Amino acid sequence: MKPIINIFFQIIMGIFIFSYSVYSQNGCPNADFSFQDFTNWQGFTGTYSACCPTPGIVPGRHTIINTPSTDANACNNLQVLPPGLSVGARLGNESTGAQAERLRYSLVVDASNSLFFYRYAVVLENPPNHSPSEQPKFDIKVLNASNQVIDPICGMYSVVSAGSIPGFQSCGSTRWKDWTVVGIDLSPYM
């Protein structure tokens, strides 16, 4: 059996939005949401304290974005689609209730996809009355078949909302990070 790489994008939220897209690659059908849906993706939902035991794509919490616009939560300074791409996905919503969402994409690594790229942008509310352990957060993990992070620098990213976050900009009580491109060499997992 060939090893499988799992890519998790998780957002645990009070109120915030996440947009994501992957460069189109062979061997990764719809990893870039080019089908305009969640084919080959697994969605999950839950709460802040228990992310994310319930499987399924939930409209309004897992959203395909295919219309260029800006995010009002980032004072309209953040494009909702990555530069040069016409489709992406958003995790999260603007409801309260400590909701959490996750997307997972699994792939068998071969020569056609051994150099894997993804793009992400993050928008986090910084609520004034939350303890540090209740603050909205965002995680990315690229895991091997044994559920171990394959690269601690490019295969894992975690951020918790705060008054200021390195690499983020502010818009009122919102903290946001512009589009970031990350590449990972998966050739050791072929």
pLDDT in tens, the chain (190 residues): 344 455 555 554 433 344 444 554 567 888 888 899 999 999 999 887 777 889 999 999 899 999 999 999 899 999 998 888 889 898 887 777 778 888 888 888 888 888 888 888 999 888 888 777 778 888 888 888 888 888 888 888 889 888 889 999 999 989 999 998 888 888 888 8
Distance, in Å, from the CA atom of 38 to the CA atom of 36, rounded to the nearest integer, reads 7
What secondary structure, in 3-state letters, does 45-72 show? EEECCEEEEEECCCCCCEEEECCCCECH
pLDDT of residue 1: 35
Model pTM?
0.86
pLDDT of residue 175: 92
Here the tokens at position 27 are 């061997």
pLDDT of residue 7: 53
E strands, 13-148, are 16-22, 41-47, 50-55, 62-65, 88-91, 99-108, 115-125, 137-143
Here the tokens at position 162 are 């705060």
DSSP assignment letter at 81 = S
Query: Per-residue b/e over 154-163, b at no fewer than 16 CB within 10 Å?
Result: bbebebbbee
